[in-house]
Amino acid sequence: MSADRIEINGLTIDGPESRDLDDAFWLESDGDMTLLHVSITDVSEKIKPDSELDKKAQEKGFTRYLSDGNNPMLPHYYSENSLSLLEGERRNTITLSVSIDQQGNIDAPLIRKTYLKNKAKLSYKQAEEIMRSPQHPLYDVLNKSHQLAQRLFEKRRNNGAIALYDLNKGIATSEDGVIQQISADESYNSHIIIQEFMILINQVIARFFAENDIPGLYRNHTSKAVAPERETLLKDVDNLMKIGDSERINTLVQKFMLIFNKASYDPIIEGHYALNLPAYMHITSPIRRYVDLVNMRQLNAFLTDEKLPYSNEALRLIGKKINTIKYSYQKEKSSFFKGQAHEQNLEILNNNIDLSTMEDKDFYRLLKTAAYKNKLPPNLHTKISEHLENHKLSVRDMFTILFNSGKSPEWMALKTMVLEALSENIHESTSLLTMASQKRQWPAIRYQREAVGTHPQTFYTTASITIKNKDYESDSQQALTIKNKKVSEQLANFSLLCKILKIDKEIPIPSRYQQQVIDKNTSKNQASSANYVGKLIELCNRKGWPAIQYEYTHEGPSHRPIFEVQAHVLINGTRYCSEKIQGGNKKLGKQLASADLMQKLIDAPASATAMSAEKNINFIGMLNNLMLKQNLEPPCYNFDFSTENGPFKCICTVTQPDDENRKTQAYGASKKNTKKEAAKRMWLLLSGELDKELLNSVESY
């Protein structure tokens, strides 16, 4: 061993059959701080730049893992023997040591040339078993490592990284934000240890390179212009963790594919979108990835104060070459599996094989083959109809049917069915048009939005696009104003989609939007002159409801005051309130507040007291339907034990469009009744404005 190297402890966790071990870790405690050591085999010591081994490694770019073995970047003698951190064997390494506090904050790294004798070569399963065996000598270090990894993961999520890790559902995100199934070999808590430690070290070394002006190959990951706000994507991931069905996973995967650019290597720092980091690079796997070997050579030269082996231009060319190799391999791999699946799907379509047990991912592949071959046999038509009926047709399924299938009467009828289903979920129209624009290189959609009125303000939007010198514009029949600016745009997109697809059948406006829309030609004067106060009094008299109460406030100068009016009424224990309407005078404000309250009363279900008196009402189902109609995520129920008001306590949480959580709680002798009561209170709260006295009351069963 070299005299200038110090000895370091370490162990490895990898797949059970892995022999190309290029990184090890160890943990030490230092008061309130944790000292993490990650040691990386020093490949740069034996594989020199421009050597024959180096040239062959660059041509391969990375190790390819196959079902019956691997095709290594470096020959087996090096990758699985002389350079591998095999158990009990001494190897030259470079060690990065990082101090981490209880909040996951890190100090500047200590980087040293070391040597290591691997204490244990563990599989993920073996590490998991040790973590449940207090007598094992590695029990302490592995459990502390797991606790640290969980803190690092939560800190990444809190800092805005697109990160998901759920062993129960068997899904996780890669460092590039790709949602993927966790393999059987990695389905253990110990896997997050390696994941988080490697992400941390790659992040730390990227910052070290940038701060010390060391040229290197950074791992850049960027988003496209169509990407929504990060908060929206994080909410999608959170919702997936709550629900986690395969359709939601597939939909989110497709969404991320549309908005993320492929990660690439380059000496220029562009940041890493999925990790939400300003700089990120790879260095922890120099046996398996050529980029890591290049970065290790740069680091080694810097540590020994030698001339750096690569200039920025040389790094740019290497990065470009590795990117090309990586993309070509991915395309080749995809084409191979697509070819196999294509032949199998043709057999299914030609022989009308039963599809009742087919999984969703296989259904999508079958649908693509059917659209490409213009085949729509009875078995597939039945399966598509079932998916439509059960709301299981994903956005990519709909895109395949609408844009990739033929124009036979059967396919056109199916397209109409899809659009009819889409009319109840018009927000997906925007996703479909975005997919079409990406895949077919369409120009941007042109929007014209007009604000109508002031209190309340409504919006009218038209959408148009030019495709192959032909103009398409949303239907004039959709000339409707709506209170929600975003929904107004979605309605225009839905109409534009029908025009592009040349579906002449009139598709109705979704029922949940019909009460919000007003004919565009209805002027403000017409709206304000209508006697909504009288109509509301007539409605209350007819129903036997109490008189309407009005509350007024005003602000501004006396010669030009602005009045704010709110109308409310208490009906059978449930309070219904209008929005707080602003107007230039009391009369107009009162009319508009009356119109808003009347609409709420018309839309409202039966009164709170009448509904709660019935014994067999499915409040849980009713709440789910209410969430669906309002395009919100299903409610979340959390149970706890109670010693004061009953054995069980249930908290029902609903996240509203403004991301504000609304909560109700209930107590009871059984989880079933407690959940039903919490759902009932939430339903009452969202259907009207539940009295605080009723909301805070406690019922025991």
Residue 441 — left, alpha, or beta (φ > 0 → left; ψ -120 to 50 → alpha)? Answer: left
Shortest CA distance to 334 belongs to which of 345, 324, 326?
326
Higher pLDDT, 68 or 388: 388
36-50, 430-444, 555-569, 594-608: segment of lowest average pLDDT: 594-608
Nearest Cα to Cα of residue 273 among 265, 261, 283: 261
CA 176 – CA 28 distance, rounded (Å): 30
pLDDT (average), residues 127-131: 95
Asked whether residue 485 carries a pLDDT value surpassing 60, the answer given is: yes
Q: What is the pLDDT of residues 178-210, one digit of tens each?
A: 888 787 777 888 999 999 999 999 999 999 999
Query: Measured at the alpha carbon of residue 249, what is the angle toward residues 493 and 663, in degrees to the nearest 5?
Result: 85
Q: What is the dihedral of CA 76, 280, 201, 160, to 10 degrees?
A: -130
- DSSP tag of 266: E
463's enclosing H/E stretch is strand 458-467
Q: CB–CB of 321/58 below 8 Å?
A: yes
Residue 328 confidence class, pLDDT cut points 50, 70, 90: confident
User: Tell me, what amino acid is at 468?
Assistant: K
Say what the pLDDT of residue 585 is. 66
Residue 243 has pLDDT above 70, yes or no: no
Average pLDDT value for residue range 497-514: 68
The distance of Cα 265 from the centroid of its chain, to the nearest Å, equals: 24
Segment 211-237 shows an average pLDDT of: 87
Q: Band of the pLDDT at 681, cuts 50, 70, 90?
A: confident
- Local confidence band at 692 (pLDDT 50, 70, 90 cut-offs): very low
Could you tell me which of 216, 297, 223, 287 has the C-alpha nearest to residue 261? 223
Which residue blocks in 423-531 are alpha helix, DSSP H? 427-440, 485-501, 511-514, 524-529
Q: Which two tokens stand for residue 90?
A: 């001494």
- 259 vs 273: CA distance, rounded Å: 11
Contact 239, 164 (CB under 8 A): no
- Token reading at 182: 């966790």
The amino acid that residue 240 corresponds to is L
Residue 476 reports pLDDT greater than 80: no
* Average pLDDT of the residues in 206-231: 89
Strands 518-519 and 480-481: antiparallel
Q: Is a pLDDT exceeding 60 seen at residue 519?
A: no
- CA separation for the pair 459, 138 (Å, rounded): 64
pLDDT at 452: 60
Mean pLDDT score of the chain: 81
Cβ atoms of 265 and 19 closer than 8 Å: no
CA atoms of 4 and 391, how far apart (whole Å): 66
Q: Which region among 290-294, 335-339, 458-462 has the lowest average model confidence (pLDDT)?
A: 335-339
Q: What tokens were used for 40?
A: 């990386």
DSSP-derived 3-state class of residue 678: helix
The answer to whether the beta carbons of residues 589 and 582 sit under 8 Å apart is yes
Lowest average pLDDT, out of 132-136, 335-339, 648-652, goes to 335-339
- What integer pLDDT is reported at residue 508 of this predicted model? 58
Is 90 exceeded by the pLDDT of residue 606?
Answer: no
Percent of the chain with pLDDT over 90: 32
Domains plus CATH for the chain? 6-140+148-222+260-310 (no CATH), 368-519 (3.30.160.20), 524-603 (3.30.160.20), 608-696 (3.30.160.20)
Q: What is the pLDDT of residue 695?
A: 37
Instruction: Tokens for 413, please give them.
Output: 């009828």
- Looking at residue 621, its pLDDT comes to 75
Q: For 341-381, write each residue's pLDDT tens digit.
A: 666 777 777 777 777 777 766 788 888 888 877 888 888 88
Residues 6+ apart with CB under 8 A from 386: 392
